[in-house]
């Protein structure tokens, strides 16, 4: 496959110094892409898919599938790290960065410090806005040159590769900005509130 461009400043944790420096503590490398989900896999019709940004009950922006793909598209290559201790290197994703989503919604500055993503199937996860903007996060719709499969979160999933992969919520449909932080699904069951793999923030108290 042709090497994709690492476009428009997306900042990931990918490091070139060598394999050792790319694997967080306690992780092992896999060439597979394990499927881990808490419930049934949603099957979403693209003509019914929308994604929205919300704050205090107000809708800041909303896009259909066609409108979303008319936004600037960014392609990145990055490593991902699961809390179950596997790491997969040089994964390739395409989607819309949060910086471009905010620009498309005419939001000049992030309106709050925290965000909660809401997905089909009732899944949620909380992420500090600082971990989404500045080229750190995107809504991805393609993986390895093809549409993301439903098993891996398609048609669209959050991608925050510098955090453990449960923070990269599958089947994402809405992001809600919050003035105060709240626990999402796994966080309410004892997973770490932030989830930095380089600090081994797997569970509450780590």
The average pLDDT across 135-145 equals: 97
Residues 83/200, Cβ–Cβ less than 8 Å: no
User: How far apart are alpha carbons 195 and 36 in whole angstroms?
Assistant: 17
Q: pLDDT tens digits, residue range 53-65?
A: 999 999 999 999 9
Reference 68, options 31, 30, 96; nearest CA is: 96
Q: According to the model, what pLDDT value does residue 15 have?
A: 39
pTM: 0.88
Work out the number of other CB atoms within 10 angstroms of the CB of residue 149.
13
Residues 161/89, Cβ–Cβ less than 8 Å: no
Q: pLDDT tens digits, residue range 80-104?
A: 999 999 999 999 999 999 999 999 9
- Chosen CATH of 20-24+49-199 out of 3.40.50.150, 3.90.1150.10, 1.10.10.60, 3.90.420.10: 3.90.420.10
User: How far apart are alpha carbons 111 and 134 in whole angstroms?
Assistant: 14
User: How far apart are alpha carbons 50 and 120 in whole angstroms?
Assistant: 11
Q: According to the model, what pLDDT value does residue 18 have?
A: 57
Check residues 146 and 6 and name the one with the higher pLDDT. Answer: 146
Q: According to the model, what pLDDT value does residue 39 have?
A: 73
User: How far apart are alpha carbons 59 and 81 in whole angstroms?
Assistant: 32
Residue 20 has pLDDT above 90, yes or no: no
Query: In the chain, what are the domain boundaries?
Result: 20-24+49-199
Q: pLDDT tens digits, residue range 155-200?
A: 999 999 999 999 999 999 999 999 999 999 999 999 999 999 999 9
Complete edge-to-edge strand list for the sheet that includes strand 50-55: 58-64, 50-55, 172-178, 114-119, 124-128
E strands in 82-130: 86-97, 114-119, 124-128
């Amino acid at each position: 496959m042709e090497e994709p461009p690492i476009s428009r400043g997306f900042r990931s944790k990918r490091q070139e110094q060598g394999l050792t420096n790319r694997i967080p503590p306690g992780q092992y490398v896999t060439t597979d892409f394990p499927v881990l989900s808490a419930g049934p896999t949603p099957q979403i019709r693209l003509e019914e898919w929308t994604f929205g940004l919300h704050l205090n009950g107000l809708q800041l922006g909303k896009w259909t599938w066609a409108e979303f793909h008319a936004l600037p598209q960014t392609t990145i290559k990055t490593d991902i790290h699961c809390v179950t201790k596997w790491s997969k290197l040089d994964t390739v994703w395409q989607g819309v960065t949060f910086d471009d989503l905010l620009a498309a919604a005419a939001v000049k500055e992030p309106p709050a410090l925290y965000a909660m993503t809401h997905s089909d199937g009732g899944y949620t996860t909380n992420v500090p806005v600082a971990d989404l903007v500045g080229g750190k996060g995107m809504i991805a719709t393609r993986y390895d040159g093809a549409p993301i499969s439903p098993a891996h979160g398609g048609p669209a999933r959050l991608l925050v590769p510098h955090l453990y992969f449960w923070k990269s919520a599958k089947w994402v449909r809405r992001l809600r900005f919050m003035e105060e932080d709240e626990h999402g699904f796994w966080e309410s069951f004892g997973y770490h509130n932030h989830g930095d793999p380089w600090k081994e923030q797997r569970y509450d108290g780590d």
